[in-house]
Structure 1
């Protein structure tokens, strides 16, 4: 299934999320991902990607950049002739909550395991290079960040707070790959959600006055939706449970006289082809 993007309200409240790492250069999984549950997400991502485990709920994932600010350059005649484009280094900070060997290796920059299972902190830390995948989930929609190569190592110190979960902050410096520094998707529906673009087969009547109620027939005409009369939005749209009919009130345009328009229906899954309609103001 090709990626399907939201056409309305492409906003995100990332209530949950997952971070995966893989060998440097691991390709990005096919989007959209199946976010029905963690099992389907793991299957959708693929066996090459391993979950990084629990991360902080309060601190989330912090994006940052380092580098000089653009500088305005000019001449006596044109004080603001151009601006510079200084190099930027982009980083992400993740607060890891799992206290296990894999987390320790990322935080301390390598290390080994003692005979009793304890982690051996290396005397000379060395950043770990990985591919990284971040999946931010908001109900049945999600955004995916993909980085072909990042350098991971501990950022700040670890605090044992009796009133909170302990965290190990790790900074990921984006190193870039074959196509830029990374990729981020638009807001997408999960693959587990059936993609049902709307269709419009008939408009009855095809001519009506402002304030009149007309009926639209089609498929997948499910709320929320918007009925457009050219640039004007219909009001009071009511759909049937089957998504095959819509009743809507004809808007009042600012133009006088009869106004031919293209009538179409827009839903979160797409937009119908237009049908001819005339707003009768005679």
Structure 2
């Protein structure tokens, strides 16, 4: 069974990102990665993958696709009988900011190094076929894109702008691999974060009126947490530094009369098993 990457907030603000290339067909490094620092990330992906260095802050990576739109086909009796599936070509455009021999080779399509260390631009450019790995980082979470085979060659021209960092746009055309075009992960936590869902061992008392307080004992009862009384959310949770106890106020439900519910604690790392509780409205 595939692993589940637990998070209540599966959105991404890619504050930082890293792009690696490797010989085509290089397997994807095992997920998740340790994203605490660039060094720990490099250790996670392994020595087979080489960083392409800096990319543009504003134009660092762009996805695009080319191809015809699906066309609706039908008969007189059934005007919308089926749709076509025209082929699509997917590309990833990288705005490289480092002026290195490796960057030049990607942009100019191969090339040699002269005796004085200068790069020799080839007369006949040849796209470089490689594996591509993109790691987009949002705090302690990240998303990984992996492409087993891409064809890399320069796109737009290079402009020397005194007011901006100079960029070289390289287009990676995604090619078919052994397992489709590529893979993209869900939002997941890095290895630096322990993925431990909360547990509840005791709820005191086991019955409480709306507005009263309940003490929950267990493990991994850390902020931010939501305490569910059935479908109703507990009010004003208060945590202990050890994460072993949580105090919460019983909510006021819509239903009348005593209400048996399952009390659960939910955090970014999962949800506890249910514990029987009764909201006393007598």
Quickly name the TM-score band, shorter chain normalised: over 0.9
* Alignment map for 1:1-282 (pairs within 5 Å): 5-282=5-282
Q: How many residues align?
A: 281
Is 248-257 or 181-190 further displaced after alignment? 248-257
Structure 1: give runs of 5+ residues left out of the alignment.
none
Q: Counterparts of 1:60 and 1:227 in 2: how far apart (Å)?
A: 41
**Cα drift, residue 80 of structure 1:** 2.1
**Cα drift, residue 235 of structure 1:** 1.4
Task: Say which SS state the counterpart of residue 273 (structure 1) adopts.
Answer: coil
Task: Say which SS state the counterpart of residue 102 (structure 2) adopts.
Answer: helix
* 8 Å contact kept, 2:143–2:185: yes
**Cα drift, residue 43 of structure 1:** 0.7
Q: Counterparts of 1:97 and 1:32 in 2: how far apart (Å)?
A: 27
Structure 2: give runs of 5+ residues left out of the alignment.
none
Q: Counterparts of 2:77 and 2:254 in 1: how far apart (Å)?
A: 48
* 8 Å contact kept, 1:4–1:32: no
**Cα drift, residue 234 of structure 1:** 1.1
Q: Counterparts of 2:267 and 2:136 in 1: how far apart (Å)?
A: 23
Task: Say which SS state the counterpart of residue 40 (structure 2) adopts.
Answer: helix
TM-score, scaled relative to structure 1: 0.96
**Cα drift, residue 203 of structure 1:** 0.7
Q: Counterparts of 1:209 and 1:70 in 2: how far apart (Å)?
A: 58
Task: Say which SS state the counterpart of residue 180 (structure 1) adopts.
Answer: coil
**Cα drift, residue 212 of structure 1:** 1.8
Is 75-84 or 235-244 further displaced after alignment? 75-84
Q: Counterparts of 1:281 and 1:65 in 2: how far apart (Å)?
A: 59
1:3/1:189 CA distance change after superposition, 3 Å? farther
**Cα drift, residue 79 of structure 1:** 2.1
Q: Counterparts of 1:116 and 1:241 in 2: how far apart (Å)?
A: 61
**Cα drift, residue 81 of structure 1:** 2.3
Spell out, residue by residue over 1:200-226, the C-alpha distance to the aligned partner (whole angstroms, 9 max, x if none). 101111111222211101111000010
**Cα drift, residue 4 of structure 1:** 6.1
**Cα drift, residue 3 of structure 1:** 6.0
- RMSD (Å) for aligned C-alpha atoms: 1.4
Q: Counterparts of 1:119 and 1:228 in 2: how far apart (Å)?
A: 63
Task: Say which SS state the counterpart of residue 44 (structure 2) adopts.
Answer: helix
Task: Say which SS state the counterpart of residue 41 (structure 2) adopts.
Answer: helix
* 8 Å contact kept, 2:7–2:188: no
Q: Counterparts of 2:77 and 2:206 in 1: how far apart (Å)?
A: 62
